[in-house]
């Protein structure tokens, strides 16, 4: 039997959240190890919109200026309703909004990490608390095990760490989303605007990343019945073109001429707002962050930014306590207690922010799903009452690292 390796802080998953958490801790002088099941860093989803709150958080991590160099600021948002023949500019200021290539974001978050921080090919199968030490022990698929002082689950929507915390199962909207890039070698000629077009229950959005590259997505209110579609880029393209066949030709051409390698199709999932309000996000020295904690529909473009905010708050709370533990040099029990308090503070600080984000995305997603006009109107009224300023979420400031 292999001996159990002992590590201080283990982060499960090397996506946006895991990398941001490791970087935030590194900036505070704390070492961590990321266990990533893939053999390399992944960047599924082509582009990612980052709004003012996300840029604040990236500034704290010291990577925002690098990313600003390769992404254009969005100046306006347009909403076009083809059924009602209406076109309107979003009435509120969007602050700083840019679409970044996911690959660039992952690169920026990972390149300042010390060598050896990320361990690839390390799939965590299960987590349990050691009976004697109360520290988490991780069982990996390669047969080895690791004992950590702190475990942060950034392992996405199907999180093993969330299962360990016994969080309620996430739910699914009926919609899916296809995302991709289209490259225009001679320049796309579009204004630096985010343009959303809606027809029936299908939404199509496009936003330029730079002068030649456009990020686009479509959200049809259904999921392809053939499971092979999501694995085959050519089938995803055919599915997408079919879904928007009644949209303007500019959109159809954009999707037809896309970069096949950039395509992804995702069924939209969420953790219910009430499960975020009531969920127990800490057990011993284990917690979750990012999609593992609060997977949400993409309707506000906030899941990734919220994950980066989690990283900042978590690193801030942990650092304060870890420094205290180091000074006191007390026993293991004190350490478990201090780390537990740090994680509780993190959860407390994040909870209501996430409840509001998940509520807004849940109501918008439910509007997409609703088949009756009455249901849609009711949800619209809820949105108008609770979120009269629809971009208020971008003003959030997660504070200094
Ligand atoms: C259609 C769509 C559009 C979106 N658009 C936006 C947007 O515009 N702006 C925005 O801010 N957000 C957006 N989001 C949300 C954003 O993509 C996610 O919130 C973000 O990627 C979550 O990052 P994460 O690191 O928490 O999870 P993930 O990106 O899922 O990363 C989890 C990582 O953990 C690894 N892992 C999983 N299980 C294990 C295991 N057992 N052991 C080891 N490793 C494991 C995985 O391989 C992966 O690398 C969108 C989401 C969707 C679906």
> Measured at the alpha carbon of residue 292, what is the angle toward residues 233 and 395, in degrees to the nearest 5?
95
Compute the residue count for the chain: 401
Between the CA of 54 and the centroid of ligand 1 the distance, in Å, is: 15
Phi, then psi, of 100 in degrees rounded to 5: -110, 145
Structure tokens at 76: 């306006």
CA atoms within 13 A on the CB side of 75: 3
341 lines ligand 1 (CB under 6 A): no
pLDDT at 329: 57
Distance 43 CA to ligand 1 centre (A): 9
Q: How far apart are CA 136 and CA 375, in angstroms?
A: 45
Q: What is the pLDDT of residues 13-70, one digit of tens each?
A: 999 999 999 999 999 999 999 999 999 998 889 999 999 999 999 999 999 999 999 9
Pocket test for ligand 1, best of 303, 354, 364, 368 (most atoms within 8 A of CB): 303
* Nearest alpha carbon, ligand 1 atom 20: 304
Among 10, 15, 57, residue to substitute to test ligand 1 (most atoms within 8 Å of Cβ): 15
Q: Which atom of ligand 1 is nearest to the CA of 177?
A: 1
Structure tokens at 27: 């900036």
SS3 359: helix
* 3-state SS assignment for residue 96: coil
Cβ of residue 163 lying under 6 Å from some atom of ligand 1: no
Per-residue pLDDT, 243: 94
Ligand 1 centre to CA of 237 (Å) is 22
pLDDT of residue 347: 98
For ligand 1, atom 27: residue with the closest CA? 156
Supply the pLDDT for residue 133: 82
Rounded-to-integer distance, Cα 286 and Cα 154, Å: 11
Q: What is the pLDDT of residue 148?
A: 96
Low-confidence ranges of the chain (pLDDT < 50): none
Q: Give me the domains of the chain, ranges plus CATH numbers.
A: 5-72+102-170+271-395 (3.50.50.60), 174-269 (3.30.9.30)
**What average pLDDT does the chain have?**
93
162 lines ligand 1 (CB under 6 A): no
Q: What is the pLDDT of residue 152?
A: 98
């Amino acid at each position: 039997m292999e001996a159990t390796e002992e590590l201080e802080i283990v982060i499960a998953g090397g996506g946006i959240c895991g990398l941001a958490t490791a970087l935030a801790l590194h900036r505070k002088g704390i070492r961590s190890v990321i266990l990533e099941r893939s053999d390399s860093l992944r960047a599924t989803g082509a582009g990612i919109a980052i709004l003012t709150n996300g840029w604040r958080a990236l500034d704290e991590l010291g990577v925002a200026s690098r990313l600003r160099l390769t992404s254009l600021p969005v100046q306006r948002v347009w909403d076009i309703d083809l059924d009602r023949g209406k076109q309107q500019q979003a009435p509120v200021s969007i602050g700083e909004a840019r679409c970044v290539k996911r690959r660039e974001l992952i690169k920026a978050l990972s390149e300042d990490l010390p060598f050896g921080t990320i361990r690839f090919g390390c799939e965590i199968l299960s987590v349990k608390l050691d009976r004697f030490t109360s520290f988490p022990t991780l069982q990996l698929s390669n047969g080895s095990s690791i004992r950590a002082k702190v475990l942060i689950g950034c392992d996405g929507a199907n999180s093993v760490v969330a299962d360990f915390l016994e969080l309620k199962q996430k739910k699914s909207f009926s919609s899916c989303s296809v995302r991709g890039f289209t490259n225009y070698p001679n320049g796309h000629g579009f204004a630096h605007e985010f343009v959303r077009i809606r027809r029936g229950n299908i939404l199509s959005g496009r936003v330029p990343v730079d002068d030649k590259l456009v990020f686009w997505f479509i959200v049809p209110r259904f999921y392809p019945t053939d499971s092979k579609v999501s694995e085959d880029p050519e089938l995803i393209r055919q599915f997408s073109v079919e879904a928007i066949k009644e949209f303007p030709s500019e959109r159809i051409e954009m999707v037809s001429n896309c970069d096949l390698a950039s395509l992804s199709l995702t069924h939209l999932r969420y953790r219910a707002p009430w499960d975020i309000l009531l969920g127990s996000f800490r057990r011993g020295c284990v917690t979750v962050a990012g999609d593992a904690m609060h997977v949400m529909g993409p309707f506000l473009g906030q899941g990734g930014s919220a994950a980066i905010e989690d990283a900042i708050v978590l690193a801030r709370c942990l650092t304060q306590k870890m420094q205290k533990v180091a000074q006191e040099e007390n026993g293991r029990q004190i350490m478990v207690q201090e780390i537990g308090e740090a994680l509780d503070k993190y959860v407390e600080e994040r909870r209501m922010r996430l409840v509001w984000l998940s509520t807004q995305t849940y109501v918008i997603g439910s509007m997409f799903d609703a088949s009756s006009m009455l249901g849609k109107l009711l949800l619209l009224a809820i949105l108008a009452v609770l979120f009269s300023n629809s971009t208020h979420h971008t003003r959030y400031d997660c504070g200094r690292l």
